[in-house]
Amino acid sequence: MQSLQVDLGERSYPIYIGRGLLGQAQLFERHIAGRQIAIVTNDTVAPLYLEALCHTLAKYSITPIILPDGEAFKNWETLQLIFDALLAARHDRRTTVIALGGGVIGDMAGFASACYQRGVDFIQVPTTLLSQVDSSVGGKTGINHPLGKNMVGAFYQPKAVVIDTDSLRTLPSRELSAGLAEVIKYGLICDAPFLGWLESNVDALRALDDAALRHAIERSCAAKARVVGSDERESGLRAILNLGHTFGHAIETHMGYGVWLHGEAVAAGTAMALEMSRRLGWIAEAERNRALRLFIRAGLPIVPPVEMTPEHFLGHMAVDKKVLDGQLRLVLLRSVGDAVVTADYPAAVLQETLVANYQALFEQLRSQ
């Protein structure tokens, strides 16, 4: 087992990474203060791992809370089911909520923990690659609003993150690819050598090689922990973690939550951010192509939905959380491994980026 620390003063917590961690009771027990726990999961993950986790934690009074699976359910109505269950089973302030599932479960269980009786403990047990490398670390929690993704939420840190890499054995390959979008992101924004490692290991990752997976997860979590440790509430640096997300959120919102997986939308959105960085003269065409080829090899889309016009993008992006005093800030690459957040770009270059021919680019790169 490997272990990392997210340094946030009195809100610091460990990330444990290894095989079979779902069965290690003492890992959990050191982070559980009371006698009650609630395990929040969904109807896809519950049949796979809920019984095993309940067995591990048999000494506690357990309330299982099983939600419908999918980003489309990341809303208030579903969140309310958590509060209903906690209150019906009379969970008090000393309870611990455990999020067992992917990013949607982690975001909702975390937000419910932030709000239930104004805050109770919670533990992240992410079971998808995407949630293991990204959403389970850093304390961003929340739900979607019909007018924007993650618009209602809280910064609320878990007591621990327990990553059992065995859970990736049951993950559909489309979801594994979606997770790789965020893994590649860390290489692009702050770790150029990691990008080289990924080029050599993307096939091993897709084949679920455990050593490769553990290395990718640890390096991704370490990058995220560094960034979050220096800017917990996203007043500056932390925003670079959103490379590709402003374009990507527009895709998710426009297509309807859950039609594109988050990682897929981030991949296509990152393709747009790379294209814009190239048009600004910050990265070379060869660098853009190298990154796009890696996304393609990871099984990810680099072409935004054909039905989305520039007006669609601009409309959705106007409510992005990075808008300040009316100015849309974008995460772009100064060079590979060096991201910046900036509103200082010509509007024309954004416009050109929105109408660029990504389909032609995809066909050209695929045939090389």
**Local structure of residue 171 (DSSP, 8 states):** S
Residue 253 is labelled as binding a ligand: no
Nearer to its own copies among residue 101 and residue 142 (C-beta): 142
Residue placing its CB nearer to its own copies in the complex, 87 or 211? 87
- Spatial distance between the Cα atoms of 276 and 331, rounded to a whole number of angstroms: 10
**Annotated active-site residue in 185, 249, 254, 278:** 249
CB of 254 to its own copies, least distance (A): 15
140 is catalytic: yes
The H or E element spanning position 317 is: helix 310-317
182 is in an annotated binding site: yes
Handedness of CA 347, 348, 354, 360 (dihedral sign): negative
34 annotated as belonging to a binding site for a ligand: no
Residue 128 annotated as lining a ligand binding site: yes
Catalytic residue among 262, 278, 288, 329: 262
Establish whether 55 is a catalytic residue: no
Token pair of 103, please? Answer: 């990013």
**Interacting residues with its own copies (CB under 8 A):** 34-36, 76, 80, 83-84, 87-88, 90, 92-94, 114-119, 140, 142, 145, 147-148, 150-155, 233, 318-319, 321, 323-326
Q: How many angstroms separate the CA atoms of 60 and 28, rounded?
A: 11
Catalytic residue among 175, 218, 234, 275: 234
Nearer to its own copies, 192 or 314 (CB): 314
Token pair of 65, please? Answer: 């809370």
Q: Which helix (H) or strand (E) holds 341?
A: strand 338-342
Is 312 known to be catalytic? no
Nearest to 160 by CA among 33, 19, 71, 20: 33
At its nearest, how many Å lie between its own copies and the CB of residue 99? 17
Does the annotation mark 316 as catalytic?
Answer: no
- Give every CB contact of residue 62 below 8 A, 6+ residues apart in sequence: 37, 38, 39, 54
CB 8 within 8 A of CB 229: yes
Q: Is 191 labelled as part of a ligand binding site?
A: no
Residue numbering of the annotated binding site for NAD(+): 69-74, 103-107, 127-128, 140, 149
Which residues are designated catalytic?
A: 118, 140, 182, 224, 234, 238, 242, 245, 249, 262
Enumerate the known binding-site residues for Zn(2+): 182, 245, 262
